Amino acid sequence: MRQYLVGILCLLSSAMSAQSRDTALQTYFGTLSAHHLFDGNITLAEKGMKVYAYTGGYANYASHQLNTGQSRFNLASVSKIFTSTAILQLKEQRKLKLEDDVTKYLPIFPFKRITIRHLLTHTSGLPNLELYEEVVKKYPDSVISNASILPLLQQWKQGLYFTPGDQFRYCNTNYTLLSLIVEKISGISFPEYLRKHIFQPAGMKDTYVAIYGAKPDTLRVQQQVLPTWYDSVYVPAEQVKRYRYTEYNNQASIGPSNVITTADDMIRFDNAFFSGKLLSMATVEEAITPLKLNNGTVYTEEMDTMQGEGTGHYGLGWEIFQQPKFGRSVGHGGYKFGIATFYFHNLDRKQVLIAYTNGNSRFGEQVTSAFLMLNNMACKSPNIRQSAVRAYAKALIAQGPDHAACMLHLYMTDTTHFYFNNREMNFLGYDFLYQCAAPGHQQWSLETFKLNTFLDPHNFNTYDSYGEALLESGHKADAVHMYQRSLELNPTSEDGIKAMKKLGLR
């Protein structure tokens, strides 16, 4: 009887805990929705079952298409997990070994002693997107495909950045090569391989690999950005000049990116992967084992996206998280201009978090809060305040520097509704200087940088930036004074030293 009563009390306690958790999640995400603080989807699961899902904001600002649970997001670098899984499947079928040289499968690959393991662990020493810079300079409208990579590597004259295995250096080129190896061994295209051997077995009916030039998908969300700190209208990232190289010229690469999926399908993948449906459990454990470099040390880095106490490692295409309060987790983060993604699986608690954003968000803060609440812990207080810098920019353009400076003082004292950040002010100054074509853009830049030197007088970088704007605007003598002040505060500033040498003063 006593054991029966204890069991009943435990069930009641669990039900109350789940109810309290649901209330906390609903309150938190209700606040985000009311203040338009998160565009995207977040889904939480426990022991394979979805326990909470949030969707908000616009899949496409221009058309006012809302995000829904069926919205499909580009996973960006989370796609690397699928490429890794494909390679490990071929390993289990004894069609390759991780210690095989890449040249065994791609004979024209120009570097010896780089293995498949080096590619999986980002320890190859190969160049990243800089590999394509020269061809894009020559042909600005070109879109780089996987077929370009081997010829371009043959033309690469700088060599490897380090001896393979000596260092970790995150590199998308590694995963493009892995996708080519999958195609070479399997005899089918990489998108078809993933569909047949991963997506279908996992039940991922709403997932595919984006192929450049294919028919548009109406459920796929738009990569959208505010182009500058003075803009208030979201636009497609590929249309913004400063993002053109990554989001237009490099949009066709598959292997490192471009798996398109929903939050629910990622839960299905997670269930399939960690139940041994796609790989043996021994291979799963191998994939999520931290990388050791040639010198025997385990590579350690900061955690990606998830905030708080903990360290990060890298396995075979998987990021690994060690958190004192929560134990071991694995997953991956992804980022492209206009989109961020995060997949997080806590191994000890059997909890999963899937998060996508394609517009306004404080992604790391909100992802961390969701995980804390999943574990019945207090979330980070939602920051509902607006940027004083964006408000200042609007006032400056509309009514000039005196009015804008006056309003900035008011914004900075109104800490209930506004926050101020000096780095944002610095970014705004550069946006006015280099991104703006309006007649008064140089003066707006000067006013912004000048004001920032008074607001942040002990930061060498504020004077360095102001000096650059003065020089660009033809005020050489004043620029020298600002560079000198910058170097007084930081005598080793590379930008300051370089500028003074260019001015003939060093």
Q: What is the pLDDT of residues 123-177, one digit of tens each?
A: 999 999 999 999 999 999 999 999 999 999 999 999 999 999 999 999 999 999 9
CATH superfamily entry for domain 421-502: Tetratricopeptide repeat domain (1.25.40.10)
Alpha-carbon distance of 374 to 371, in angstroms, equals 5
Angle between helix 172-186 and helix 80-92 axes, rounded to 10 deg: 40
- The yes-or-no answer to whether 76-374 and 421-502 have a common fold is no
How would you classify the pairing of strands 319-323 and 327-336?
A: antiparallel
> What ranges do the domains of the chain cover?
76-374, 421-502
3-class secondary-structure state, position 361? coil
Alpha-carbon distance of 139 to 2, in angstroms, equals 78
CATH fold group of domain 76-374: Beta-lactamase (3.40.710)
For 189-254, give the secondary structure using H, E and C: CHHHHHHHHHHHHHCCCCCEECCCCCCCCCCECCCEECCCCCCCCCEEHHHCHHHHHHHHHCCCCC
pLDDT in tens, the chain (506 residues): 444 433 433 333 444 467 889 999 999 999 999 999 999 999 999 999 999 999 999 999 889 999 999 999 999 999 999 999 999 999 999 999 999 999 999 999 999 999 999 999 999 999 999 999 999 999 999 999 999 999 999 999 999 999 999 999 999 999 999 999 999 999 999 999 999 999 999 999 999 999 999 999 999 999 999 999 999 899 999 999 999 999 999 999 999 999 999 999 999 999 999 999 999 999 999 999 999 999 999 999 999 999 999 999 999 999 999 999 999 999 999 999 999 999 999 999 999 999 999 988 999 999 999 999 999 999 988 888 999 999 999 999 999 999 999 999 999 999 999 999 999 999 999 999 999 999 999 999 999 999 999 999 999 999 999 999 999 999 999 999 999 999 999 999 999 999 999 888 87
Alpha-carbon distance of 185 to 178, in angstroms, equals 11
The candidate with the shortest Cα–Cα distance to 70, out of 217, 275, 246, 277, is 217
For the entire predicted model, the pTM comes to 0.91
Q: Write down the residue that tokens 């929705």 correspond to.
A: 33
DSSP category for residue 187? S
Instruction: Supply 376's token pair.
Output: 């019945």
How would you classify the pairing of strands 386-387 and 418-419?
A: parallel
Contact yes or no for 136/143 (Cβ under 8 A): no
The candidate with the shortest Cα–Cα distance to 70, out of 221, 259, 257, is 221
